[in-house]
């Protein structure tokens, strides 16, 4: 009977150890807004990690794929308030390929067990490429130099003309 009671206590301890992290994940949360963004866009990452599982003095570390959080998949640290809530704004690198990425959180050196999905769309941040306006970088410089030279010459011409007009009177 004593042996049976020992096995029951050991089984209960193992069950509590396994259920504990699952309960923490149920009480923790994370969200990303907006959930779809182009490379170079800014997202707001927020959530909560119970202070019973990780002291409020420990920051939440945002995690994910290395393409989203270069070079190693660890994103920014977000300070937490006394209830365990955190929030941080993050600019998605312009080098991030289009796709869906899971965004998670760590606290106190361990994964919290929550995730939100961020979808990165193809294409750069900004308006549509309609073909109107601007020149490629570096290609406008010769035209700018030519324009400045012509304006300078026109100014000199006006000065000379003014002086000649005064002398002829």
Domains and CATH numbers, the chain: 28-120 (2.60.40.1930)
* Pair 103, 65: CB distance under 8 Å: no
Token duo for residue 161: 């003309």
The structure's pTM equals: 0.60
pLDDT value at 115 more than 80: yes
Under 8 Å CB-to-CB from 86, ≥6 apart: which residues?
46, 47, 48, 49, 59, 60, 78, 79, 80, 105
Round to whole Å and give the CA distance between 41 and 147: 36
pLDDT value at 112 more than 60: yes
Q: What pLDDT score does 54 carry? A: 92
């Amino acid at each position: 009977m004593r042996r049976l009671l020992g096995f029951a206590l050991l089984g209960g301890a193992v069950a509590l150890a396994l259920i504990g992290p699952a309960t923490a994940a149920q009480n923790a949360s994370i969200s990303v807004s907006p959930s779809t963004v182009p490379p170079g866009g800014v997202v707001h990452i927020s959530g909560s990690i119970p202070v019973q599982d990780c002291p409020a003095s420990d920051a939440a570390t945002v995690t994910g794929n290395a393409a989203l959080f270069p070079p190693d998949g660890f994103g920014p640290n977000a300070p937490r308030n006394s209830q365990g809530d955190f929030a941080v704004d993050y600019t998605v690198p312009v080098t991030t390929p289009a796709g869906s990425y899971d965004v998670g959180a760590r606290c106190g050196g361990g994964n919290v067990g929550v995730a939100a999905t961020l979808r990165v769309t193809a294409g750069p941040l900004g308006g549509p490429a309609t073909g109107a306006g601007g020149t490629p970088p570096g290609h406008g410089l010769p035209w700018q130099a030519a324009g400045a030279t012509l304006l300078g010459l026109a100014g000199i011409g006006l000065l000379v003309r003014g002086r000649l007009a005064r002398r002829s009177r």
